[in-house]
Structure 1
Amino acid sequence: MFLINGEYQSHLPANDRSIQFGDGCFTTARIVAGEIRFLSHHIARLQQACQRLLIPFIQWETLAAEMAEMARSQDLAVLKVIISRGSGGRGYSPAQCGSPVRILSVSGFPSFYAEWKNAGVTLGLSSVRMGINPQLAGIKHLNRLEQVFIRAELEQANQHETIVLDSDGMMVECCAANLFWREGEAVYTPLVDRSGVNGTMRQHIMAELTRQGRIVHQVRAAPDALLRADEAFICNALMPIISVRQAITTRYTSQELFTFLAPLCE
């Protein structure tokens, strides 16, 4: 069951813009012991996305209260929040749209993350390239067909996750996670100013490292940069951080930075 504009229901008008055009944004949060981890980060993400997409959503206090209420009875679960521009109009123009629609749902927590965290993960290299679009880069909008193709390919391979490149051959992220690597004392992560998602955990990790006086270099780098790395890890709001055992053909034994960051991400 979904909570749609404050009512528990499972129906959405067929002319809702999220269905018609993918016109909206979303975030996915981890619930632990009845509380949403990094709630303010998720609200900020939605606010930034609505601003970028010109969606006039203003009910932030109501949304935060609904998120908290849905989380309260959950021990370990996943909360997804979608904001749609709403219904109205046949064509692309948003001029005839009604009020934005908020959609909340709770689902079970992925059990495989515990195994990944204990053993680390193997990353492949996706053949699916991400398009370059600076206007949409960074935000988590509802147009996720690239991820659908990436995930479909990944499910046929023998890897846990996969590295995704943009159309210029530069690393962007994984299918459902951001990527970091360390070379000596230097920490790197791909730039997400032309494609990809600036994840809430990515932002948190960068802020934590900055507080520790470490510089995180946001770079455009080809996959061969991982050949020189001493360690690598991936992150998202649910994992929240997992060490990489092998990326493409490169194996890693160090978990120095991962070990430092892991308790700060819980």
Structure 2
Amino acid sequence: MIVNGSSETQLDITDRATQYGDGCFTTMLVKDGKVKYWDAHLTRLQSTCERLFISSINWGELTLHVSELAKQQKLGVLKVLISRGSGGRGYSPEGANTPVYIVSQHSFPAHYRDWQRKGIELNVSSITLAKQPLLAGLKHLNRLEQVLIKRELANDAFQDCLVLDTDDVIVESSVGNVFWYGENAWHTPALNFSGVEGVMRNQVMAYLSANQVPIHQCREGLNSIQSASEVFVCNSLMGIVPVSAIEFSDGHRAYYLSEKTRDLQNGVMNY
């Protein structure tokens, strides 16, 4: 693990990442010794730090260490976590002027290959996301909602779940962003109030726009996805994963095709 350029195994107990979840992170696919979409991950980290008022990151040094660790992996995962740094007791960030970046290596989740080939089934989480425009779209360190969602999902027979906000509007899945096809267009949730603006989400949207395929960002309830013909979830590690079925809270189960999704898997990968 690299902490501010040095090999470390510990973090200061006063670090605001551990005290308050004061920071952000990104998780990246490494393939053949290179980070996939590094420029997009870096841009998101920079944008998030700007919105959280975290400054003085040595981005060039961080990029160098990411590149060096990536060279050690044929297929794997790198995670970059940025904290505001250490500070005194209390919420105020005053005095926490030395941010910390952490780069760690991880194994690639083997089950993602099966998900890509076979597709997955979803249910709908009973846990809803709070609406907070100031944090919407950011991959910040305050992930307790997601922890509770994953805990609930672990007790079910589904690989993933749809997550709604407190207005019963679709936001994302427990692991990534969600898209569905209906009325001759792709749809994905707008992230004005909650959710994570995923790197793969942006790649998919860029690919669709470049190929003049209609894509709408929307705030829709479950009725919209119930009547869709295709659904997929995506993130930067697993890529695009078809959804074969969704079981809704009333017991109704909808089944989906994957023809257009398979085309997207191939197209976005080579885009």
TM-score band by shorter chain is: over 0.9
The offset of 1:184, in angstroms, is 4.2
1:251 match: 255
- 2: CA distance, partners of 1:88 / 1:227: 48
1:235 match: 234
Question: Over residues 226-260 of structure 1, what are the superposed CA-to-partner deviations in whole Å (9 max), with x where a residue is unaligned?
Answer: 121110101000001100100221101x2232122
1:51 match: 50
The offset of 1:176, in angstroms, is 1.1
- 1: CA distance, partners of 2:8 / 2:158: 37
SS at match of 1:26: strand
Residue 149 of structure 2 is aligned to residue 145 of structure 1: no
The offset of 1:261, in angstroms, is 1.3
Are 2:244 and 2:258, in contact at CA under 8 Å, matched by a contact in 1? Answer: no
Residue 125 of structure 2 is aligned to residue 121 of structure 1: no
The offset of 1:143, in angstroms, is 0.2
1:1-266 equivalence runs, <5 A = 2-248=1-247, 249-252=253-256, 254-266=257-269
The offset of 1:265, in angstroms, is 3.5
Are 1:234 and 1:242, in contact at CA under 8 Å, matched by a contact in 2? Answer: yes
The offset of 1:56, in angstroms, is 0.5
Counterpart code for 2:89: R
- 2: CA distance, partners of 1:264 / 1:36: 19
SS at match of 2:82: strand
Question: Over residues 118-146 of structure 1, what are the superposed CA-to-partner deviations in whole Å (9 max), with x where a residue is unaligned?
Answer: 11000110000100000000010000000
The offset of 1:57, in angstroms, is 3.4
RMSD, aligned CA: 0.9
Are 1:226 and 1:247, in contact at CA under 8 Å, matched by a contact in 2? Answer: no
SS at match of 1:10: coil
- 2: CA distance, partners of 1:220 / 1:115: 30
Are 2:84 and 2:98, in contact at CA under 8 Å, matched by a contact in 1? Answer: yes
- 1: CA distance, partners of 2:129 / 2:136: 11
Are 1:201 and 1:265, in contact at CA under 8 Å, matched by a contact in 2? Answer: no
Question: Over residues 186-208 of structure 1, what are the superposed CA-to-partner deviations in whole Å (9 max), with x where a residue is unaligned?
Answer: 11001111000010000010010
- 2: CA distance, partners of 1:194 / 1:257: 29
Are 1:226 and 1:250, in contact at CA under 8 Å, matched by a contact in 2? Answer: no
SS at match of 1:265: helix
Q: Which runs of 5+ in 1 are unaligned?
A: none
- Matched positions, count: 264
- 1: CA distance, partners of 2:97 / 2:182: 51
Counterpart code for 2:108: F
SS at match of 2:201: helix
Compared with structure 1, are the counterparts of its residues 265 and 57 closer, same or farther at alpha carbon in structure 2 (3 Å cutoff)?
farther
Counterpart code for 1:256: E
Counterpart code for 2:27: T
Are 1:184 and 1:230, in contact at CA under 8 Å, matched by a contact in 2? Answer: no
Q: Which runs of 5+ in 2 are unaligned?
A: 248-252
- 2: CA distance, partners of 1:143 / 1:257: 35
- 1: CA distance, partners of 2:209 / 2:5: 39
- 2: CA distance, partners of 1:259 / 1:49: 32
**TM-score (norm: length of structure 1):** 0.97
Are 2:23 and 2:141, in contact at CA under 8 Å, matched by a contact in 1? Answer: yes
